[in-house]
Each structure stands twice: as C-alpha cells, then as structure tokens.
Structure 1
C-alpha cells in the first residue's frame, strides 16, 4: 500500500481555528514577535540552537520556512489569541518525508502564556490536520530530555515515547541526548 502526501493541504495555506485560537501562516508579519521569542532564555532553554544575532536572521529563517511551505515540505502556523490578536507562539510540521508519510512537529510558546492550555488547544486542530488533510501516517517529536513540560504535552495528546538517543546531537561544545515521541493516526485522541 502506498500513501502520498496531499499537496492540496498546503495551498492555499490552511487557516485553523479553535475556541480561543486562530492559527494562520507564519510569515513576516510576525518577525518581531518571533525575534523576541527566540531571544528569550526560557524559550531557548530546550531548543538546541543558538539565539539569533539579529532580526535579519529571524527574517531569513521565516522566509526559508515560507519557501518550504510553497514546496509542500513544511507547514508553519503562528498561534494568535482571538480575543486580543496577540501572537502566542508557533507550531508546525517540517522534515516531511513524502515517501514514508511522516513529518516532525515543532512548537514554541511565549513563556507569559505557558500553563494556560494554549498548545494543547492548538494540538486539537493541528494533529488531525496532519492525518486527515495532509495524508501523514506518523508524526514525530524530537524533545530535549530535560523538557518535561513538552514530554507531558505530547503524552497527553497520545504520543508514545519510542526512543532515548544517547548523545545523538552536538550543540554548544557537547553531545546531547534526545527523546523521540511518535503518534500514529490510529493513536489520535
């Protein structure tokens, strides 16, 4: 049996909605908010990448993301709170493997909005979209082993911890461990 990614799920960009949130395309409208987020030490604590040196670096990253979305290789949403149109964070799929019908999910949220259920709420529309609209069979998350909040979020959404990779990632002068979580369509809650 062959499974194919549904290209129509990428264009036009899929705007998603929940009771409190509006998920829209992550684009240059949000460069300043993304810069603030990516230079926040709390946000970057578990993201094993250097902080951006300036706004131009964030702009280039967003532009590269747009190009990946145009090529049906990624989907990246800005998470906006409906009541006041505030940018809370972002969520999306990247490393989409068409042949094997899987993609990696990534997400981040401004610490001011942690522990309000916003990311769990975003998951309620983004995960079904991956399976029902994009045609994915599997979604993976690669998590820093110390990021308990992210691991808890994933498990509550139905993900299973599948692997503990020892020292599989080199960052900032050291090898780091990571945990891999997986969700199959049949596991979706």
Structure 2
C-alpha cells in the first residue's frame, strides 16, 4: 500500500528539495521558466512574464493539500530555486509514477539534476512505497537520458511519435524506469 505523504523536505549535500512558496516566482521566472532553451523539450512554452510564473506557483501551492509531489530545487549555496522535479503521472493501483523535471541552464552538466532525481527516487521507494518509477524525454534531449541513467534508471524503449510540438511536429519519447527491486540491489 502506498503511504501518500506528498511533498516532504529532502536534503542532499548541495540541495534542498521543498514545497514551492509564492516568493519563489522571481527565481523560477529568472532561472528557467522564461528560457526557451530550457523549455525546448518540455510540454509547455516559456513564461512571458513573472505574473505567469506567480500564477502557476499559486496553483501548485494550493494543490499541496491534496498531497501532490512537486519539489522546488533550491541550491543551498545561494539559497535560490534553480529547478523543479515532480510526479507528473501517478497510478496508485499499480504503485507506479512518472517523474518530470527541468532546471536552469546555468546549472546544467553539474550533476545537480541527477542528485535531485536520485534523492526523489530514494524518497518515493523508501517512504511512499512505489514499486516502479518512470521518466521520459524527447529523444533529441540526450542529456536528460543521461540524468536518468545516472540515477539508476534503465532504458526501456522509444515511443515513436508519441507527442507533438506546436500541433505539427511529432517527436519520439525515450522511456526509462527503475523498479523497487533494482533500487534495493543498488
């Protein structure tokens, strides 16, 4: 049985994973929400202004009472929110979920997202009781697949033309997962 705990604080060496607060909107907007390079492979467009960001954070904050899983990634060294990691799909019946994430371009290739994903995987297996955790990425976003592999996930296959950009360009999704049995062995 899943122990629905929602977003709880997770500490790593460099990071504080925590619930969003309204005051995070300027950091989120500045660090990634307005960056077309960050959102290029995501399902949403860059925010036009900080008001867009404030609105989405307000929605997330209001959903925390429903035990959603959505962490702001705060870099302890600068006390600034630099990214996001969350459960984007949850299936309580099969004890499984799918994780999505994004982060400021300034901090790419520093192992920060792998550190975040590993910490969230550990929490979801040890504290919540999931059996399977999956993640997917646009096959053109090779770095995201590397994050998944570093976090202990295994490549399962490619979903051909599974999504569409701008209602015209189809793209493939690479699927990765980790099972609780795999996690226990590691």
Q: TM-score, normalised by structure 1?
A: 0.87
Q: Does 1:52 align with 2:52?
A: no
Contact 1:32 1:55 in 2 (8 A): yes
Give the Cα–Cα distance (whole angstroms) in 1 for the partners of residues 133 and 169 of structure 2: 28
Q: Does 1:181 align with 2:153?
A: no
Q: Does 1:90 align with 2:84?
A: yes
Could you report, residue by residue, the CA deviation over 1:108-150 in whole angstroms, capped at 9, with x for unpaired residues? Answer: 1111111211112223321110111111111111201111111
Q: TM-score, normalised by structure 2?
A: 0.89
Give the Cα–Cα distance (whole angstroms) in 1 for the partners of residues 116 and 144 of structure 2: 14
Q: Which runs of 5+ in 1 are unaligned?
A: none
Partner of 2:57: 62
RMSD: 1.7
Partner of 1:23: 17
Give the match's secondary structure for 2:43.
Answer: coil
Q: Does 1:43 align with 2:43?
A: no
Deviation at 1:158, TM superposition (A): 1.6
Deviation at 1:41, TM superposition (A): 2.0
Give the match's secondary structure for 1:176.
Answer: strand
Q: Which runs of 5+ in 2 are unaligned?
A: none
Give the Cα–Cα distance (whole angstroms) in 2 for the partners of residues 53 and 151 of structure 1: 28
> Aligned residue pairs: how many?
182
Deviation at 1:83, TM superposition (A): 2.2
